Amino acid sequence: MPKLTVNGKEVEVPAGTNLIEAARSAGVEVPHYCYHPGLSIAGQCRLCMVDIEKTPRPTIACNTVAADGMVVLTETDRVRETRKSIMEFHLINHPLDCPVCDQAGECWLQIYYMKYGLYDPRMTDEKVHKPKAVPLGPHVILDAERCILCSRCVRFCDEITGTGELGIFERGDHSEIGLFPGAELDNKYSGNVVDICPVGALTDRDFRFQVRVWYLETAKSVCPGCARGCNIEVHVNRRRPHHAEGRRVARLKPRFNADVNQWWICDAGRYGFGSVDAKDRLLVPTRRDGETTSDATWDEAIAAVAAAVRRFPPDEVGVIASPRMSNEDLVALRRLLDICTIQRVAFGVPPRVPGDEDDILIRADKSPNAQGAELMGLAGDARAILGAACGRRLKCLWIFGHDLLASAWPEAEVREALDGAEMVIFTGTNSNPTSERAHWVLPAAAWVERDGTYTNFEGRVQRFRQAVEPLGQALAEWEMLGRVLAALGEAPSATRAEHWFRRLATAGPSFAGLSYQALGDTGRLVAGSVAARAPR
Amino acid sequence: MNLRQRLYLVEVLSGLGLTAAHFFRNMGRHIARALGWSGVSGAVTIQYPEERRPYSPRLRSLHRLVRREDGSPRCVACMMCETVCPAHCIYIVADEHPNPEIEKVPRRFDIDLGKCVFCGYCVEACPEDAIRMDTGILEFSSYSRGGMIYTKEMLLSLEPAHADGRPRAPIPLPANRRP
């Protein structure tokens, strides 16, 4: 392991580490545009120049491997002068349209210009004009004028997705990023080029002109789109409710986790947050009597549910839990089932269309917590419950989140099951044909509106945190289940999701020793599970 | 104090005399003006709103949105004014402009003058010189809170004041919002 000195501080780094990463481990930031730890090294931008003792001129840090005894200086006058010149070079043809650019506020040209800019431009010639607002695909829009040709997006499409839609065309100052003839940037990971673009050349069509980034607040979260459980950041706009037509969740961004998703997320996950602020969100508990539905208070709803599970014999109650529920919800449900001695419970409802899968991130199982539900001892296939309901052996059916009418099960059978039960309770975030047939509908908080944990396919327990307040009167499932438990006479003990997680950690062997503190930002594997191969 | 001051009555009478002298002088001048003798300068009272003092050229009056040559707003909905506004009284919603050179245009640009503190930061923050406070209009009261919200169309229809600071256009209140 080579030992080197960065700005007077000695660090030891693994062999093969480049100087940007070595400096980072010494707490020194080397400015750069084209270098990205997840991509190959291009050496395009020339901004990461550093001085190395005994070398005649500044050297690019990204393509220099740390060697034993190296003395690296990143803040000498010569380096600062070089950075200033290179920034000037990058900005020769860059339009000054920061006011209309969506990247403004998180743009590395802005950040580095503030630090190393020339401030007194010497350019007198007309700028080269290039195409603006060119859609590259369903999610990404290009402004070729703003591009500094770092080639990160080109390398991403070549190396990560292997689809190679993008290239650099023309020569000299007319060079521009573009699509190969006939190609469209529509691979399943296309949104990532927006994240890695250090400037405003590639921006999100979905996010375009919706909210300025400085109005956004962030919360660390986990993508609920599939069993991978990619780490994400939820960006919410709570300060300017008139922006983005009142949608609170503005966008999702990947969050680095070396063991799960590295720097990336797929487009399905990235743009799959629409249901959170959709018009069909369930806002208040409702009861249905024949054809008439009416709003109810939570007290009435909880009393009705508690009365139902108490009134019906346990073997006439069926519960279809959901793999979209968090571990905390499931342990609360487990507790309720145990004290009511309800046996008919399962979580798996097959989707009508099987999920797609690839060898990068996307998993066929489109629910975030099937592994957690399994570890909690719930049955995987809910078909038996449907059968019992069809055979009129169930009086009460409690469905969590699923739209049974959109599943792979025959629609006639599902209709018969829903019509046959004396009491159908639906708990979920959004209304669907199944919820419309329920006698009681209990609105649940979406995953960005609450705390919790998911267990991904390899058994990694990861936390997601509340980013916004629940819409309407929606409650997290663990909270409504806790209220039902209290109505059944159990002493209330959990006022936060964490309390249920503590009970989970002491309940069984799999989650033993885990706590919110231990999970941290990147999660921990449950006992007995083996980490899957890190994605490409 | 001497005896004259201590007597008190003398001082009171001289004060009353001064007041009366001003009163009769002003009354005489007003009568002279009413009879058409315009050369006399009247009393200090300005007969607002018929008469107005000249405004300072730096006066911050009702906002207006500057137009392009084709009448569309110069504003590019960059939200700088909305961001800098200490009263949070500017509401902008951005939209796509058909011309990619301009890119962004406000679909909605409302100023809630009931909240505005007339600090003028929005004018200073604007990178496009698209908002100005030079209409010379100072009277825009309303009987309702809603009447204080000025929309993009209203702000666009306003004109800059005359050189002497007099407003060029009346307040563009739509008929349904007039008191």
CA A203 to chain centre: 18
Do A294 and A442 sit in the same domain of this protein?
yes
Q: Is A373 inside any structural domain?
A: yes
In chain A, the residue whose alpha carbon lies closest to the alpha carbon of B79 is A212
Q: Is A535 inside any structural domain?
A: no
Asked whether A25 and A14 are in contact (CB, 8 A), the reply is no
B47: confidence class by pLDDT, cuts 50, 70, 90:
confident
Measured CA to CA, the distance from residue A309 to residue A401 in angstroms comes to 19
CA A346 to chain centre: 27
B42: confidence class by pLDDT, cuts 50, 70, 90:
low
Give the global pTM: 0.90
Do A270 and A166 sit in the same domain of this protein?
yes
Do A332 and A391 sit in the same domain of this protein?
yes
Distance from CA of B101 to the nearest CA of A (A): 7
Q: Is A370 inside any structural domain?
A: yes
Asked if pLDDT for residue B43 goes beyond 70, the answer is no
Asked whether A387 and A346 are in contact (CB, 8 A), the reply is no
- In this predicted model, what pLDDT tens digit does every residue of B110-129 receive, in sequence order? 999 999 999 999 999 999 99
Q: Is A536 inside any structural domain?
A: no
Q: Which residues of B touch A242 (CB under 8 A)?
A: 91, 93, 108
Distance from CA of B63 to the nearest CA of A (A): 21
A202-204: strand order across its sheet = A134-135, A140-142, A202-204
User: Is B161 touching A (CB cutoff 8 A)?
Assistant: no
User: Is A209 touching B (CB cutoff 8 A)?
Assistant: yes
Residue B143 pLDDT: 84
Distance from CA of A217 to the nearest CA of B (A): 15
In the listed set A72, A90, A108, which residue is the last one of a domain according to the structure? A90
Supply angle C-alpha A365, A370, A374, rounded to 5: 140
Preferred mutation among B103, B108, B122, B126 to probe A, highest tally of A CBs within 10 A = B103
Do A292 and A218 sit in the same domain of this protein?
no
Residue B48 CB partners (closer than 8 Å, separation 6+): none
Q: Is A532 inside any structural domain?
A: no
Interface of A with B in 75-114 (CB under 8 A): 97, 99-100
Residue A533 pLDDT: 65
CATH, residue A52:
3.10.20.740
Q: Is A26 inside any structural domain?
A: yes
- In this predicted model, what pLDDT tens digit does every residue of B145-157 receive, in sequence order? 888 999 999 999 9
Distance from CA of A128 to the nearest CA of B (A): 13
In chain B, the residue whose alpha carbon lies closest to the alpha carbon of A240 is B91
* Amino acid type, A357: E
Do A83 and A142 sit in the same domain of this protein?
no
Do A273 and A293 sit in the same domain of this protein?
no
A460-464: strand order across its sheet = A452-455, A460-464, A524-525
Neighbours of A181 (CB within 10 A): 5
Q: Is A530 inside any structural domain?
A: no
In the listed set A240, A256, A277, which residue is the last one of a domain according to the structure? A277
Q: Which residues of A touch B102 (CB under 8 A)?
A: 100
Alpha carbon of A59 to those of A27, A318, B160: distances in Å?
19, 68, 57
CATH, residue A127:
3.30.70.20
Preferred mutation among B93, B95, B99, B151 to probe A, highest tally of A CBs within 10 A = B93
Question: Strand pairing partners for A399?
Answer: A320, A426
DSSP letters, A172-194, are GGG-EEEEPTT--S-STTTTHHH
Supply angle C-alpha A473, A477, A479, rounded to 5: 75
DSSP letters, A469-483, are PPSTT-B-HHHHHHH
In chain B, what is the straight-line distance between the N-terminal and C-terminal CA atoms, in Å?
A: 60
A49-52: strand order across its sheet = A9-12, A3-6, A71-73, A49-52, A59-60
In chain B, the residue whose alpha carbon lies closest to the alpha carbon of A213 is B79
Identify the helix (H) or strand (E) that includes residue A83.
helix A77-90
Interstrand relation of A3-6 and A202-204 (parallel, antiparallel or unpaired): unpaired
Distance from CA of A100 to the nearest CA of B (A): 5
CATH, residue A341:
3.40.50.740
Rounded to an integer, the average pLDDT of B31-53 is: 75
Q: Is the peptide bond before B49 cis (omega within 30 degrees of 0)?
A: yes
User: Is B83 touching A (CB cutoff 8 A)?
Assistant: yes
- Whether residue B77 and residue A209 make contact (CB cut-off 8 A), yes or no, is yes
- Whether residue B93 and residue A212 make contact (CB cut-off 8 A), yes or no, is no
DSSP letters, A331-400, are HHHHHHHHHHT--EEE----BSSPPP--SSS--S---TTHHHHHHTT-BS-THHHHHHHHTT--SEEEEE
In chain A, the residue whose alpha carbon lies closest to the alpha carbon of B88 is A240
User: Is B54 touching A (CB cutoff 8 A)?
Assistant: no
DSSP letters, chain B, are --HHHHH-HHHHHHHHHHHHHHHHHHHHHHHHHHTT-TTS---S---TTTS-PPPPTT---S-EEPB-TTSSBS-----HHHHH-TT--EEEEEEE-SSTTT-EEEEEEEEETTT-----HHHHH-TT--EE--S-------SSSGGGEEPHHHHHT--PPPTTS--SS-----GGG--
Using DSSP's 3-state secondary structure scheme, residue A55 falls into: coil
Measured CA to CA, the distance from residue B171 to residue A231 in angstroms comes to 54
In chain B, the residue whose alpha carbon lies closest to the alpha carbon of A246 is B93
Q: Is A95 inside any structural domain?
A: no
Do A34 and A125 sit in the same domain of this protein?
no
Do A33 and A133 sit in the same domain of this protein?
no
Do A86 and A105 sit in the same domain of this protein?
no
Question: Which tokens go with A348?
Answer: 């798996």
Which structural domain range is residue A71 located in? 3-90
Alpha carbon of B87 to those of A238, B81, B115: distances in Å?
17, 11, 6
> What is the total residue count of chain A?
536
Do A154 and A205 sit in the same domain of this protein?
yes
Do A454 and A516 sit in the same domain of this protein?
yes
Measured CA to CA, the distance from residue B85 to residue B121 in angstroms comes to 7
CA B53 to chain centre: 12
Using DSSP's 3-state secondary structure scheme, residue A270 falls into: helix
User: Is A9 touching B (CB cutoff 8 A)?
Assistant: no
Do A316 and A425 sit in the same domain of this protein?
yes
Neighbours of A465 (CB within 10 A): 18
Neighbours of A490 (CB within 10 A): 13
Q: How many domains does chain A have?
A: 3
In the listed set A48, A64, A90, which residue is the last one of a domain according to the structure? A90
Asked if pLDDT for residue B179 goes beyond 60, the answer is no
Residue B164 pLDDT: 80
Q: Which residues of B touch A99 (CB under 8 A)?
A: 76, 78, 80, 127-128
In chain A, the residue whose alpha carbon lies closest to the alpha carbon of B126 is A99
Q: What is the mean pLDDT of each run of 10 residues along chain A (536 residues)?
A: 94 95 95 96 94 94 95 95 94 92 95 91 90 95 95 96 95 94 95 96 95 96 95 96 93 95 95 94 94 94 94 93 95 93 93 92 94 90 91 92 93 92 95 94 96 95 96 95 93 89 89 92 88 64
Interface of A with B in 219-248 (CB under 8 A): 240, 242-243
Which position has the token pair 């040559």?
Answer: B69
